[in-house]
Amino acid sequence: MGILMILFTFLGGITLSAQSAINGTFSRKAGTIETTLLTFLTGTMFLAIFILFFGNGNVFAILEVPKWQLSAVFLGVLFLLFIIAAVPKIGVIATNITVIIGQLVIGIVIDNFGWFNSLVIPLDMKRYFALLFMIIALYFIYRGNKRASEETTA
């Protein structure tokens, strides 16, 4: 069961990359805001059907939860807007690697301080090294991308 789940999540990662590539293509003709709007609209439609069949939570409890928990939607919007803006300029792989690095760095910070009721996991030696390798990765992807675009224009 476990290995099947891992494969399934692996597929999830694949769809995320495919999404950024497809959205980047669509945005060249339709525009950044328009592409993001369309992604959110179609996503809403699919989830509405999904919830009708498989939802076992309570959407209406939304009115009772603390408001800060609802503020994350602005972050969700920014996330997609920024990705759609970046892909046509720097490409799929540089965007994805850079997003992951931003995600991991903030993840490590949130863990360290235990913000938002999360588990406290202190920033130890291993995680310092992880940060170092992310910076190295960022450097390589920048260099690699620059070289690739020089080769295609040359």
Q: Site residues for another protein, window 116-145 (CB under 8 A)?
A: 116-118, 126-127, 129-131, 133-134, 136-145
Closest distance to another protein from the beta carbon of 154 (Å): 13
DSSP secondary structure letters along 104-138 = HHHHHHHHHHTGGGPPP----HHHHHHHHHHHHHH
CA distance 20 to 26: 10
What residues from 59 to 118 belong to the interface with another protein (CB under 8 A)? 59, 61-62, 64-65, 68-80, 82-83, 85-108, 110, 115-118
Query: If binding is defined by CB under 8 A, does position 2 make contact with another protein?
Result: yes
- The tokens describing 126, both together, are 């291993």
Determine phi and psi for 55, rounding to 5 degrees: -70, 130
Can residue 13 be called a binding residue for another protein (CB under 8 A)?
Answer: yes
Chain-centroid distance, C-alpha 14: 12
Count of Cβ atoms closer than 10 Å to residue 129 Cβ: 10
Minimum gap (Å) between residue 52 Cβ and another protein: 10
Q: What's the closest the beta carbon of residue 131 comes to another protein, in angstroms?
A: 8
Tell me the closest approach of the beta carbon of residue 112 to another protein, in angstroms: 12
Judged by CB under 8 A, does residue 31 bind another protein?
Answer: yes
Nearest CA to 93 out of 144, 33, 28, 151 is that of 144
Choosing from 34, 112, 153, 154, the residue that interacts with another protein (CB under 8 A) is: 34
> What residue type is 113 in one-letter code?
F
Rounded-to-integer distance, Cα 41 and Cα 65, Å: 24
Closest approach, Cβ 150 to another protein, in A, equals 11
Size of the site for another protein (CB under 8 A): 124
